[in-house]
Amino acid sequence: MPATQVPLIELKAATKRFPKNGGGIHTAIHNVNLRVAPGEFVAVVGPTGCGKSTALSLISGLQPASDGETFVHGELVTGIPRGVGYMFQTDATLPWQTVLDNVASGPRYQGKSRTEAREQAREWVHRVGLGKFEKYYPHQLSGGMRKRVALAQTLVNEPQIMLMDEPFSALDVQTRQLMQHELLRLWSGTDAAVVFVTHDLEEAIALADRVVVMTASPATIKADFPVTLPRPRNVEEVRLTPEFLAIYRQVWESLREEVEQARMATSLGG
Amino acid sequence: MTTPTPTLPAPAYALSSEREAALLAGARKSVRTSTLKIWGLRAIIVALWLGSWEVTATYFIDPFFYSKPSQILVRLVQWFGTGTQFGSIWENLGYTVLEAVLGFVIGTVAGVVLGVLLGRSSYLAEVCSPFIKAANAVPRIVLAALFIIWFGFGISSKVATVVVLVFFAVFFNAFTGAREVDGNVVNNARILGASKSKILTSIVLPSATTWILSSLHTAFGFALIGAIVGEYAGAKKGMGMLIANAQGTFDSAGIYAGMIIVTVVALLAEMLITTAENKLLKWRPSQATTQAQGI
Ligand SMILES: Nc1ncnc2c1ncn2[C@@H]1O[C@H](COP(=O)(O)OP(=O)(O)OP(=O)(O)O)[C@@H](O)[C@H]1O
Ligand SMILES: [Mg+2]
């Protein structure tokens, strides 16, 4: 990241604590520092339950930090910052609306007319490959199709900041590659920053400019690996290059310790 | 197949059109026979019930107290033919239905508004909870007598009785519905740019609709009960008054006749509400699966 540029997203010593179920306090993330420039694609990996989703919720403004600060567009985050799109880890489609109306809800909230919103939505529904299903209700779709609805719902607003929480983990391998491809294509034309949480290290490296590794709970940032593979990338072919494998080995080395530690902590009943 | 347009080879699971027609016809036929069976048994049960009543009342027990189907039929024919002592039956029935519907609408609106309000504000809910519980514990049917003193023998005292009965039935469901809204869905809408009021109208109300609609079935039953009890407590017209009058003159057939008429009204209302429910909730999985059954 060029030093002169104002980061689009900045977490400064951010800490988030939750009350524990049986009393006491659980620290989800601790002292996290992260800067993301406009147009940058950052992948976040870490063991399960370490606090990746929590970090995203701080950036989105849905939750306040317990300590430290979050800045978006250089402004302190107090509510939901403008231009943020957030694809949740869990399903958030409206069951009583069709695919088309679900995708149109963003433009509707922004004050567009119904026809205009549907027009825009239809284009995105087609782009994510659900053209034949625009009149379906979510319960009539497969899990992967619902994820694609969520993707279209997020992208139709053309966010400057895309927070994506394991967006493709429910998809089959072919659809996943298709969506990765599509995401890169859509993002490359824009100045949007992407923070992409995933458990799939290959996906992280194939897509991102940087891969951030988080420690086992409470999460802080352990390492930050630049991915220097040239763009435009072909997500299927780039995995086979020696550069890719070199980066993969490096990142996996770092991640493995954390995964093992997390596994140990949970098996000890921590 | 001698069609000029090129056709894809039929997949292995495809059925010939005759076979498909036969399957569909078979499915339709089995639906028809099962409907016939259901209604046949229902008719037999009713015939047995009425027949045994008629026989018992004719030979063993005193029809003066217990009445019998033929007497009730005579009373119904008399009411609908020549009218009651208190004017046409339609006028009396219309009066009761008007009270029930007015009270139902007012009670439902009040219940939904207050239920959603408290469902979305845990502070208000906490503050109001003891009052609501106490008000719900009051034997509200007794209020009918009080309302007669307050509002007189006219329509307003009955409407007031209906409102208090309907309100609580709807309120608790609206409250639960509004409170149980999926927080994830609300967060998603906030991210997509929904304002507070948009969240209320486009997320909270639709999610609470399932709950609210299911309460309307019981609520309309309560509305009719409220109207009749109100009239029973004192009125110049209405089905409740006819029933009270029948009681006063030891006309048990009249009481049964009144009950039957009110029951028919309640069933019609139930049908209307179910239709509205199916329209509004056509997105529900259960609705879709009932349509897909049969083959
Ligand atoms: N609202 C909450 N209340 C209490 N604890 C919470 C809450 N949200 C998250 N936590 C806790 O914070 C920790 C981190 O959760 P988080 O969802 O951020 O993990 P994650 O890294 O996204 O995991 P995964 O990869 O499995 O999605 C967990 O231990 C979780 O129990
Ligand atoms: Mg998560």
Report how far residue A252's alpha carbon sits from residue B148's, in angstroms, rounded to the nearest whole number: 80
Residue in B192, B204, B277, B290 to test binding to A, most A beta-carbons within 10 Å: B192
Cβ of residue B189 closer than 8 Å to a chain A Cβ: yes
B288–A137 CB contact, under 8 Å: yes
Do the domain assignments include residue B219?
yes
Using an 8 Å Cβ cutoff, are B144 and B226 in contact?
yes
| Residue ranges of E strands in chain A | 9-19, 25-36, 41-45, 67-72, 75-76, 84-87, 161-165, 193-197, 210-214, 221-226
Do the domain assignments include residue B17?
no
Using an 8 Å Cβ cutoff, are A49 and A124 in contact?
no
State the pairing for strand pair A41-45/A210-214: parallel
Q: Which residues does chain A have within 8 Å of residue B187's beta carbon, measured at their own beta carbons? A: 62, 86, 88, 92
Q: Chain A residue with minimal CA distance to B186? A: A92
B37: left (phi over 0), alpha (psi -120 to 50) or beta: alpha
- Does residue A53 line the site of ligand 1, with CB under 6 A? yes
Cβ of residue A141 closer than 8 Å to a chain B Cβ: no
Number of domains forming the structure of chain B: 1
Do the domain assignments include residue B66?
no
What are A247's two structure tokens? 């980066």
Report how far residue B212's alpha carbon sits from residue B206's, in angstroms, rounded to the nearest whole number: 10
Residue in A77, A109, A140, A151 to test binding to B, most B beta-carbons within 10 Å: A109
pLDDT tens per residue, range B200-253? 999 999 999 999 999 999 999 999 999 999 998 888 899 999 999 999 999 999
Nearest to A251 by CA among A41, A54, A46, A55: A46
Cβ of residue A81 closer than 8 Å to a chain B Cβ: no
Cβ of residue B201 closer than 8 Å to a chain A Cβ: no
Chain A: closest CA distance from residue B199 (Å): 9
* Domain CATH number, residue B121: 1.10.3720.10
Which among A88, A108, A140 has the least Cβ separation from residue B288? Answer: A140
DSSP class per residue in A26-79: EEEEEEEEEEE-TT-EEEEE--TTSSHHHHHHHHHTSS--SEEEEEETTEE-SS
pLDDT of residue B6: 58
Q: Which residues does chain A have within 8 Å of residue B182's beta carbon, measured at their own beta carbons? A: 92
Which among B191, B198, B203 has the least Cβ separation from residue A86? Answer: B191
Residue in B190, B191, B209, B291 to test binding to A, most A beta-carbons within 10 Å: B191
| Residue ranges of E strands in A89-220 | 161-165, 193-197, 210-214
ipTM: 0.90
Distance linking the first and last C-alpha atoms of chain A: 38
Report how far residue B159's alpha carbon sits from residue B101's, in angstroms, rounded to the nearest whole number: 9
> How do the pLDDT tens digits run along chain B, 295 residues long?
444 555 666 677 777 888 888 888 998 999 999 999 999 999 999 999 999 999 999 998 888 888 899 999 999 999 999 988 888 999 999 999 999 999 999 999 999 999 999 999 999 999 999 999 999 898 988 888 899 999 989 899 999 999 999 999 999 999 999 999 999 999 999 999 999 999 999 999 999 999 999 999 999 999 999 999 999 888 889 999 999 999 999 999 999 999 999 999 999 999 999 999 988 888 887 654 444 444 4
Do the domain assignments include residue B28?
no
Do the domain assignments include residue B201?
yes
Q: Chain B residue with minimal CA distance to A62? A: B187
Do the domain assignments include residue B127?
yes
Domain that includes residue B231, residue range: 71-279
3-state secondary structure B201-245: HHHHHHHHHHHHHHHHHHHHHHHHHHHHHHHHHCCCCCHHHHHHH
Chain B: closest CA distance from residue A86 (Å): 7
Encode A46-67: b = buried (16+ Cβ within 10 Å), e = exposed.
bbeebbbbbbbbbbbbbbebbe
Do the domain assignments include residue B15?
no
B195–A62 CB contact, under 8 Å: no
Do the domain assignments include residue B147?
yes
DSSP structural state of residue B182:
-
A75 — pLDDT class (breaks 50, 70, 90): very high
Report how far residue A73's alpha carbon sits from residue A222's, in angstroms, rounded to the nearest whole number: 25
Nearest to A220 by CA among A9, A54, A86: A54
Report how far residue A44's alpha carbon sits from residue A225's, in angstroms, rounded to the nearest whole number: 10
Instruction: Count each helix (H run) and each strand (E run) in chain B, helices first.
Output: 13, 0
Nearest to A15 by CA among A262, A221, A225: A221
Domains, chain A, in order of start with CATH, read 1-83+198-270 (3.40.50.300)
